[in-house]
Structures are given as C-alpha cells and as structure tokens.
Chain A
Amino acid sequence: MWARAVWLTSRGVLGGCQAFATKANPQESGRITAAVIEHLERLALVDFGSREAVARLEKAIAFADRLRAVDTDGVEPMESVLEDRCLYLRSDNVAEGNCAEELLQNSHCVVEEYFVAPPGNISLPKLDEKEPFLHS
C-alpha cells in the first residue's frame, strides 16, 4: 500500500523546508538605515511609526532573502498565469458613464465638480526636522 510505504520511509525534516520559521538573519539586521527608512516612508506615504515596524521589515527582508537559493538562470519572469492568451480589446464605444454626481458623493471635500486637494509640491519635512519616532 503506497500510503504505508511513504509514511514509513524516514521523513524527518525535509531538507531545509522551514517555510515559515522566522529567524531574523543577524547579518541582515542593521541594513535598514535611517536614509532607507526615510526614503521608504516618502515613497509609500506610510510611516513606520515604531521601532517594531522597522524590525518587522528587517525580518521580512531576511525572509525574502531565501529566494537567493533558487537557481533561476534562463528563467523568464512570470507576470500572469494567463500569459499564453491574448489580451483582447473591446470596441471603442461608450457604454456607461455620466455618473459624476454619484462619484463626487464619496469624497469629503468637493467644490462643484472638483475634488479638492491641499496644495502640492510641498515636500514632507525631513527626518531630522520632524518628530523623530525612533526616539519616542
């Protein structure tokens, strides 16, 4: 019976299959410099908020580093599982729309048919100018 044969052969730890053990690689920690933090916060427009968040990112990176062990020479990146099919186009006819009023209703700040935004082109304060969360 195949089942017995499989379970009886010694299958302790499948070679390196620690799919989710979260041991932060000590060599990797500390690569998140203040400059990287600032850069990421600016790009993401989301702040870390705490030291724990930075530590979580470091763990996430250490986790992702395991990909290096895979040999991907000559392998093309896969963007979609439907890559063998053609993305089709539909005819350029207007089928719906004219719902400006409905759409404007969802916004907090609207003037006539405009969404209102605060002034742009003003950069966020630099790390040393604003409240340093890292010290809080």
Chain B
Amino acid sequence: MLGRTLREVSVALKQGQITPTELCRKCLSLIQKTKFLNAYITVSEELALKQAEEAEERYKKGQSLGDLDGIPVAVKDNFSTSGIETTCASNMLKGYIPPFNATVVQKLLDQGALLMGKTNLDEFAMGSGSTDGVFGPVKNPWSYSKQYREKRRQKAQGESEAADCLIAGGSSGGSAAAVSAFTCFAALGSDTGGSTRNPAAHCGLVGFKPSYGLVSRHGLIPLVNSMDVPGILTRCVDDTAIVLGVLAGHDPKDSTTVQDPVKPFMLPSLTDVNKLCIGIPKEYLVPELSSEVRSLWSKAAGLFESAGAKVIEVSLPHTSYSIVCYHVLCTSEVASNMARFDGLEYGHRCDINVSTEAMYAATRREGFNDVVRGRILSGNFFLLKENYENYFVKAQKVRRLIANDFVNIFNSGVDILLTPTTLSEAVPYLEFIKEDNRTRSAQGDIFTQAVNMAGLPAVSMPAALSHQGLPIGLQFIGRAFCDQKLLTVAKWFEKQVQFPVIQLPELMDGCSSVFENEKLASVSLKH
C-alpha cells in the first residue's frame, strides 16, 4: 500500500480497501523504522492520528473531501505549522511554535491530508545537500537500496558502511527522503535555487517548481522573496498535479500571488508529441557535467525526436553569469530577511542584557551557523552604499538579461527546455563535505537557479539509474504560468522512461501488499 501512488491510495481509501487510520499507522511505523535517514525533524504522531480518525469518519459517511483526504504528507520545516515546532533546522528557531499555518499547509489540511511531520533541511534552506542543518544531515534512501548496494558489492572491497552514505540533495532533502522511503505520498519543499529539484533528482522523485506567483508563500519562512516558491515532491507526475491543483491560486495574504483564476485539473495523456518543440540550451553542456548525465540528456532528446517532436539547440547566452548573479541577489536578500531574527519576539535569545545591540549580536551568533552568517555578511557587503550599484543593482540588471534569454527562446516557438538537473548522481556525504557550502551550492544549483531568477515553472523527472544504481534526473522548463503544459509533457516522458521503483528490502519485511505496483518485475522482500 505504501508503494502506491497518491491517486491509487486515494481510490483504495474511497473503496474501503484500507482506512485512513490503518494507512496513518503504517506510515508512522515506517517513519520509525527509517529514523536513521534523519528525514524528519518532528513527527506529529498524535495530530496525524487525530486527523486520520476525522478522515475515517468522513469516508464512512461517504463525504470525503477529495483526492487528498486521509493521505499522509510531510512538510519541510521552513513552513509555519500551527502548534508544531518550526525550526528551519536552526538554533535560532529551536522551540519556536508558530501560531498559524502557512497557506499551503492550511490548504492541504483543509483537503484532509494527514500531516506526518516536519522534514529536515539545510539551515534556513541554504545549501544543496541537506547537510548543514543543526539536526544533522539527511541520508539518501538510495544508499540502502538493493540497486545501489549490489553495484557497490561488485565494485568496492573493504570500504566501510559509512562511505556508502549518500547525500539526499538539498535543501529539501528531508522531504525528498521522506517520499522516496515511502513514509508519505507527497511532501512540500521550497525552491529558491533548485532546492526541490536537486533532491528530487538525487532521490529519484518528481520535483516540481511552480511558476513564481502561482502558489502562496505566506508562511514559508523567506530566503529570497523574489525567487522563493513552495515546491512539490511526489513519486509520479499525476500526484504532483493533484497537489498543485489544491495549492495553486491567489492568496490575499501573499501579495505576490497572481489573481488569475486557477482550477484543479487532470493531466491529459499525450498520445503524440509531434506538435512539440523541445529546446536544448547549449550553454548547459559544461565540462563538469558527468558523462553519464550527459549521455542520458542526449538519449532523452533523442527520445522526443524519434517520437516526432522538433528538438533544436537553443542559446541562453548569459548562462555562465547566472550563478554569480544568483549569488549576489541571494546573499543580499538573505541579509535583509535574516534581520528579523533578533531574539525579541520569537526564537532564540541569549543571556546578555547589557544593551539591545549586544543582545542582538550574541543571539545571532549563537543562533546562526557559519553558512547563514557568511551569507548575511556577504549580503551586507554587497548592499553597502559604495557597493550597491556595482554589485546589487548590477546583479539585478544581469537578472533581467537572464530572464530575457528565456523569454526570447519561448517566443521563438520553443515549448519546453530540456536540461540536466544536477551535474552527477548523489555523492557520498563524506566527499560532499570536503568543499564548503558556497562551492557546493554553486555546483548543485548550476542548472536550476536560472529558472528561479526568471520565475519559470520547472520539473525534475527521474530519468534512469546510473551505473552505480543511483537516480539521475532531467529537468524540463516551461513558459511562465504554463505549468499544466509542462506537467503534461513530463507525464509523457515519465511513461516512456518507466523509471524503476526503489527496492528497500530491509525496510519492507514480509508484507507483500507493499509492492503491488505492476511496474516491478520481481522483488525480493526478505533481506
């Protein structure tokens, strides 16, 4: 049951094959078993069971709220959840209990979704590995997969277990690990520079970033106000469409949401793609791209072409500057957004009471880790009077050039862009931490952050397993507010690719009902 898609489980609930309480308990039990992944910071067991009981009542009366009623979901810990600790994986907010729900959380709860818990992330969503939070790193469930382990046994001799542990990607690594390990059917992440798509690629999931302005940011603790969006992580595109249908739409509490009317939608199944024009940005072919990802990218392009789509090379000339531009704008907005954490009204407060300035300084030193402090200081540097024009305003101008690059391409008849999501598959944790956060973020975000700067929708689709047995994702980028079209194409791709389900024999003991998905040829459920 846990291995099914959201839609399948929803049908099972409606047909009474399983009750919300049973489903909830199964997920909670699996969360316990997978504690070593460190995907969850807070598990809201009591709340989830209470919600499950309420959902059960509704199903008994035949009054289910919709496709999400009774479905376990997880939420990244930088979304405010009423009555549930929200930490952003930082000492600054340890013990902080928001008095309100983020709009997207409220929308999920209004549809009857069960909130399993808050997931782990990089501190304040700054990072691309989910390694820099105060609760420790998130482990990629694929580290424990049969697919990966078998390849490792063939290759390596005498390497310790610890070396196997792979990063989950970031910064929404906890959400990705939670969905990938079957502890919930969908999870909310946030996406500022690729933070939903990056872990989706590393964990073999569908990671969707909606158009900026489509989904409310109210309650999402902001990193970069002009680029943040809530992201959706699921195991298949139809599930993403269900969740997006619930979340999208104008919110009076977020003035950056557009007022265009939005309706929930069912994704059509594309039968042919010969009206489609796919663009391949040549500047994304960087030397650092792993040969496996490169060849997979090429195969995917070939797939569209042989199905009749027009596949052309396009140019985004300012690509090489986008990561630098992002770096300046991100640190500048961070410097501003982190100013609210002074210890007075919420969050951590130090013991010093000599003066407000001393109290603020000590609180912030104790509350923030090096990464956050580094970005605040860099941002403040770029915002100094003498630097403002040369750095901040300059970056804003470059941002326009980058956004225009995309507009020009879409105006020339291209429907969707196809690019890699990450440079390579997930790397081991010990290797990842050898470089500092800024370097790793620059590497991890290279294909994803230009999309945030232009506010476009994008989705990372699991494409294939690498030679090491690990997921590789490819990214599709669409025109602004053409999210539905983007997901339709992604769904077609998903069908062609038939990405394998992760096999976690140690976690699923004995219960054959777990893997009823017919995509699986054979699975050994016993270790």
Contacts and interface: CB of A to CB of B under 8 A. Distances in A.
Interface residues of B, number: 91
B213 A66 contact: no
A99 B360 CA distance: 25
A72 interface: yes
B355 A99 contact: no
B323 A46 contact: no
Interface stretch (B27-35, B112-120, B346-354): B346-354
A57 B99 contact: no
The interface residues of chain B, by DSSP majority, are classed as: helix
A108 B376 CA distance: 24
A110 to B, nearest CB: 9
B321 A46 contact: no
A13 B352 CA distance: 54
Contacts of A36: 381
B314 to A, nearest CB: 11
Contact of A13 (B212, B287, B319, B443): B287
Given A67-B395, A88-B255, A60 B344 contact: no
A76 B397 contact: yes
B357 A45 contact: yes
B377 A57 contact: yes
A93 B454 CA distance: 34
Interface in B104-137: none
Contacts of A48: 373, 377
A107 B327 contact: no
B419 to A, nearest CB: 13
A94 interface: no
A9 B379 CA distance: 41
The interface residues of chain A, by DSSP majority, are classed as: loop
Given A22-B439, A40-B380, A60-B438, A118 B324 contact: no
Given A103-B99, A117-B359, A88 B320 contact: no
A90 interface: yes
Nearest to A44: B380
Interface in A29-54: 36, 39-41, 43-49, 53
B287 A3 contact: no
Contacts of A56: 374, 436, 438
Interface stretch (B56-64, B185-193, B241-249, B277-285): B277-285
A78 interface: yes
Contacts of A102: 99
Interface string B233-271: 000000000000000000010011011000000000000
A67 B325 contact: yes
Contacts of A77: 393, 396-397, 399-400
Nearest to B312: A2
Contacts of B25: none
A135 to B, nearest CB: 18
A64 B391 contact: yes
B451 to A, nearest CB: 11
A1 interface: yes
A111 interface: no
Contacts of A27: none
A7 B212 contact: no
A81 B403 contact: yes
Interface stretch (B298-306, B425-433, B493-501, B502-510): B298-306
B374 A53 contact: yes
Nearest to B394: A67
Contacts of B399: 77-78
Contacts of A7: 294, 298
A23 to B, nearest CB: 11
Contact of B397 (A11, A61, A72, A107): A72
Nearest to B446: A19
A17 B319 contact: yes
Interface stretch (B12-20, B168-176, B361-369, B513-521): B361-369
Contacts of B345: 103, 106-107, 115
A109 B455 CA distance: 41
Contacts of A81: 212-213, 226, 403, 453-455, 480
B361 A124 contact: yes
A56 to B, nearest CB: 5
Interface in B435-474: 436, 438-439, 442-443, 446, 453-455
B159 interface: no
A82 B394 contact: no
B283, B360, B381, most chain A CB atoms within 10 A: B381
Contacts of B455: 81-82
Interface string B181-221: 00000000000000000000000000000001100000000
A41 B357 CA distance: 11
A116 to B, nearest CB: 8
Contacts of A115: 344-345
A2 B301 contact: yes
B311 interface: yes
Closest 9 CB pairs of A and B: A81-B455, A77-B396, A20-B442, A122-B355, A78-B400, A72-B397, A106-B346, A102-B99, A108-B349
25 contacts: A2-B305, A3-B305, A6-B280, A17-B287, A19-B319, A19-B323, A43-B380, A47-B373, A59-B438, A67-B324, A69-B321, A72-B394, A75-B397, A78-B403, A79-B226, A81-B226, A82-B258, A99-B99, A106-B96, A106-B97, A107-B345, A107-B346, A107-B349, A119-B354, A120-B356
Given A6-B298, A14-B286, A80-B226, 19 more contacts: A13-B287, A14-B283, A19-B319, A20-B288, A22-B442, A44-B377, A45-B361, A48-B377, A67-B398, A70-B394, A77-B400, A82-B212, A103-B99, A105-B99, A106-B99, A108-B349, A122-B357, A123-B357, A124-B355
Interface of B: 96-97, 99, 212-213, 226, 252, 255-256, 258-259, 280, 282-283, 285-288, 294, 298, 301-302, 305, 311-313, 318-325, 327-328, 331, 335, 339, 342-347, 349, 352-361, 364-365, 368, 370, 373-374, 376-378, 380-382, 384, 390-391, 393-401, 403, 436, 438-439, 442-443, 446, 453-455, 480
